[in-house]
A and B are shown apart, each in its own frame.
Chain A
Amino acid sequence: MNQHPSLATNAHPFAVRDCALISLATGVLAQNLREFRDGLLKVPAGCIYHHFWGRLLRPQFDEPEYNNDFASWAYWGLHDKPLAERLSMVLPSDYADLEDLRQEVVEVVEQRLDEMDTVPWAQVDQRFGFLQSQIVVFDTGMRFEQPLDLVPYVPGLSTGSIFYHFIDARRRTESHGDDFSSWLGTFGQEYAPLKKRLAGVDPYFSSLKEIRQIVTTIFQTFFEEKA
């Protein structure tokens, strides 16, 4: 970690944070699609966040067919493939906040209910349990003055740090982007191509380890080309 001062006027050191997440049951359960719709309407907004993003910090198989818990349940619980596909194509970053995102998910479900003659049910032991989470964020003490300084450390960042800076940032920031890109933006146009490559990463189908590898490669490649 070099300590030389930034050359850019607006730039500030990049502070690496880490986080850990714990899941909580809400007590809201759905046995069929109508109950699922009703659950969506009443659970806290944090549930929507948890089922789209929090899942990345939970134990999961690394080749998920569907990229959010709602879509997974539509397929595995209700065996409704069209609904699973539609829910998978809901991109959280397209919505201003979690309430807008919730509304979109509800719209997709209601549209499906309108199309069907009967309400699809899950088996007794395949109910959907709405979860929320608490996230504990802490400082790692790592600081980077320049983007080049960050490069050797990206492969060693914890999955919690990757989640916080690359996933959670999309909820925290106005631009719905990742923290690396926001920081690169403070250096003016110099790192615009690097920002663009980061923006091109679709984080929906990857584990946090895979995202870390992708981000590492993007940083390394950019600076190799620049050298």
Chain B
Amino acid sequence: MMDPMLAEALQNMLDEYSAVTGRGVFDHLRQLAAPLRGARVLHVNSTREGGGVAEILQKLVPLKQALGVDARWEVISGESEFYQCTKGFHNALQGNRVPISEKQLRAYEVNNVRNAETLRSLLEEADFVFIHDPQPAPLLAQCPNRKGKWIWRCHIDASHPYRPVWRYLSKWVAPYDASIFSLPEFAQPLPHSQYIIPPSIDPLSEKNRDLSTEEVATVKQQFGIDPELPMVLQVSRYDRFKDPLGVIEAYQKASRVTPLQLVLAGGGASDDPEGEAVLREVQAAAKGDPNVHVLMLPSDAHRTINALQRGADIVMQKSIKEGFGLTVAEGMWKGKPVIGGDTGGIRLQVIDHYTGFLVKTPTGAALRIRYLLHRRDLLKEMGERAQRFVWENYLITRHLREYLTMMVALLYGSQERIEVGLE
């Protein structure tokens, strides 16, 4: 029996979401979740804060609870060598030739054995276990008495992984009951069902809820951003795959003919030891230009990021590799056109010439910056389309629906059509 205060809080949360998505969405979700009432669902990842996975889980778990699913979220811990190894995995899955030493691999395995001991009863009793990304993948092998369905959720663009690393990781992942990839192109040959579920944004989070124009202006002032000068923004970790140096190059090319300022807003995740080196390179490239603002924000600066996105004229995500790129949907949700790298999940969100532009080079990005700042009418129109597109397709309620659908499907077997509770 759920604590009445918790039940009330969850109901209030559902009411808040209904106000954004429409009540019908939750009627649909309640009916879909009916066969899963009381099911014990456990999500496991490696960081509570920082990065898209943690942000999604912060709301996905309570929403499942509100629909009657007994969901919880656990985080594995690790030492520096473990994170060095998993950062290497991350880069290798995205195609970088990253050598990973035997010592690091042992640290990875030992760390998972240790975490399995701590979480064993939860892992083995759960009806569904969602393991996010490679960090906790070996937990399954440590749970021979597991009862439920185990699903490996890969949030990374694994379309062209560095083969030796994928060969090693697939050994841990193959025994799962199913896996989830964000895009069909990311799926890898595995001996189980591979579901395709793009991620989503939470419209009520600090990062995405409405803000007053005063608050947006205050944040811009706080960072010395000129309120009169057009602003182009990229929000992302300082990571080579996000191409922050390419963004500066695009700004430099565009600003020769169009007055503008660039804001690069990044932060670190606790499982990303490489960020500082990239940040130093970015600071060096921006040095001496008062219209380039390189911000290092703490992982909980969600409201600040929200204000910066709302204060921008154009949002960029010029990644050269991207799993999904939640910052694209975030920018679009605030009614901004997005100039995005023509890669991975950005292609799902930026519909070229409709909700923004897909670009392949810094020069291409510079061209689109100039075009949009010159054609303000189109900038506004694209921004409006972008917002509607996210409302229809990339809110957390769609994500939740797909998780629930997959869980029902796993519960009832692998047939193509599953009929639940029909007369």
Report the nearest B residue to A128, measured CB to CB.
B184
A25-B184, A59-B198, A158-B24 known; A20-B401 Cβ under 8 A: yes
A27-B194, A125-B343, A158-B28 known; A20-B404 Cβ under 8 A: yes
A23-B195, A25-B187, A158-B28 known; A61-B417 Cβ under 8 A: no
Contacts of B351 in A (CB 8 A): 61
Q: How far is the CA of A138 from the CA of B417 in the complex (A)?
A: 11
CB distance from A88 to the nearest CB of B (A): 18
Report the nearest B residue to A123, measured CB to CB.
B342
- For residue B418, CB closer than 8 A to chain A, the reply is yes
A-contacting residues, B337-352, CB 8 Å: 343, 348, 351
Q: How many residues of B contact A (CB 8 A)?
A: 47
Contacts of A24 in B (CB 8 A): 193-196
A17-B422, A22-B402, A129-B184 known; A27-B189 Cβ under 8 A: yes
B-contacting residues, A51-66, CB 8 Å: 59-63
Contacts of B286 in A (CB 8 A): none
Taking a contact as CB atoms under 8 Å apart, the answer to whether B405 and A21 are in contact is yes
B-contacting residues, A188-227, CB 8 Å: 209
Report the nearest B residue to A158, measured CB to CB.
B28
Taking a contact as CB atoms under 8 Å apart, the answer to whether B194 and A132 are in contact is no
From B77-85, B104-112, B114-122, B408-416, give the one contacting chain A. B408-416
Contacts of A125 in B (CB 8 A): 159, 185, 343
Contacts of B34 in A (CB 8 A): 138
CB distance from B340 to the nearest CB of A (A): 14
- For residue B215, CB closer than 8 A to chain A, the reply is no
Choose from B194, B195, B418 the contact partner of A135 (Cβ within 8 Å). Answer: B418
Q: How far is the CA of A137 from the CA of B416 in the complex (A)?
A: 11
A22-B402, A24-B195, A27-B189 known; A59-B420 Cβ under 8 A: no
Taking a contact as CB atoms under 8 Å apart, the answer to whether B189 and A136 are in contact is no
CB distance from A51 to the nearest CB of B (A): 11
Q: How far is the CA of A22 from the CA of B405 in the complex (A)?
A: 6
Taking a contact as CB atoms under 8 Å apart, the answer to whether A158 and B343 are in contact is no
- For residue B406, CB closer than 8 A to chain A, the reply is yes
- For residue A131, CB closer than 8 A to chain B, the reply is yes
Contact with B along A41-54 (1 / 0, CB 8 A): 00000100000000
A22-B409, A133-B416, A134-B415 known; A63-B185 Cβ under 8 A: no
- For residue B393, CB closer than 8 A to chain A, the reply is yes
- For residue B394, CB closer than 8 A to chain A, the reply is yes
Report the nearest B residue to A141, measured CB to CB.
B31
A25-B187, A133-B416, A160-B28 known; A138-B405 Cβ under 8 A: no
Contacts of A20 in B (CB 8 A): 28, 32, 401-402, 404-405
A-contacting residues, B357-400, CB 8 Å: 389, 392-394, 398
CB distance from B281 to the nearest CB of A (A): 26
A25-B196, A59-B394 known; A129-B185 Cβ under 8 A: yes
- For residue A140, CB closer than 8 A to chain B, the reply is yes
Taking a contact as CB atoms under 8 Å apart, the answer to whether A46 and B196 are in contact is no
Q: How far is the CA of A137 from the CA of B415 in the complex (A)?
A: 12
Q: How far is the CA of A209 from the CA of B415 in the complex (A)?
A: 28
Taking a contact as CB atoms under 8 Å apart, the answer to whether A136 and B420 are in contact is yes
Contacts of B404 in A (CB 8 A): 20
Report the nearest A residue to B186, measured CB to CB.
A25
Contacts of A139 in B (CB 8 A): 31, 420-423
Q: Most A CB atoms within 10 A — which of B193, B416, B423?
A: B416
- For residue A119, CB closer than 8 A to chain B, the reply is no
Contact with A along B161-200 (1 / 0, CB 8 A): 0000000000000000000010011010100011111100
Q: How far is the CA of A138 from the CA of B418 in the complex (A)?
A: 9
Contacts of B409 in A (CB 8 A): 22, 134, 136
Contacts of A89 in B (CB 8 A): none
Report the nearest A residue to B159, measured CB to CB.
A125
Taking a contact as CB atoms under 8 Å apart, the answer to whether A134 and B418 are in contact is yes
Taking a contact as CB atoms under 8 Å apart, the answer to whether A156 and B196 are in contact is no
- For residue B73, CB closer than 8 A to chain A, the reply is no
- For residue B419, CB closer than 8 A to chain A, the reply is yes
- For residue A18, CB closer than 8 A to chain B, the reply is yes
Contact with B along A1-45 (1 / 0, CB 8 A): 000000000000001011011111101000000000000000000
Taking a contact as CB atoms under 8 Å apart, the answer to whether A127 and B402 are in contact is no
Taking a contact as CB atoms under 8 Å apart, the answer to whether A137 and B420 are in contact is yes
Taking a contact as CB atoms under 8 Å apart, the answer to whether B194 and A25 are in contact is yes
Contacts of A63 in B (CB 8 A): 354
Taking a contact as CB atoms under 8 Å apart, the answer to whether A138 and B197 are in contact is no
Q: How far is the CA of A59 from the CA of B199 in the complex (A)?
A: 11
Contacts of A127 in B (CB 8 A): 185
Taking a contact as CB atoms under 8 Å apart, the answer to whether B31 and A140 are in contact is yes
Contacts of B402 in A (CB 8 A): 20, 22
Task: Give me the interface of B with A, judged by CB distance under 8 Å.
Answer: 24-25, 27-28, 31-32, 34, 159, 181, 184-185, 187, 189, 193-198, 343, 348, 351, 354-355, 389, 392-394, 398, 401-402, 404-406, 408-409, 412, 414-423
Q: What are the nearest 9 A-B pairs in CB distance?
A: A59-B393, A129-B184, A25-B187, A23-B196, A20-B405, A22-B405, A134-B409, A25-B194, A61-B351
Q: What are 27 A-B pairs at a CB distance below 8 A?
A: A17-B422, A18-B28, A18-B31, A20-B28, A20-B32, A20-B402, A22-B195, A22-B405, A22-B406, A24-B194, A27-B187, A59-B392, A59-B393, A60-B393, A125-B159, A129-B185, A131-B184, A131-B196, A134-B406, A134-B416, A136-B32, A136-B412, A137-B420, A138-B32, A139-B420, A139-B423, A160-B28
Task: Give me the interface of A with B, judged by CB distance under 8 Å.
Answer: 15, 17-18, 20-25, 27, 46, 59-63, 125, 127, 129, 131-140, 156, 158, 160, 209
Apart from A59-B394, A62-B392, A129-B185, 11 more pairs, CB < 8 Å: A15-B423, A20-B28, A20-B405, A22-B197, A24-B193, A25-B181, A25-B195, A129-B184, A134-B409, A135-B418, A136-B409
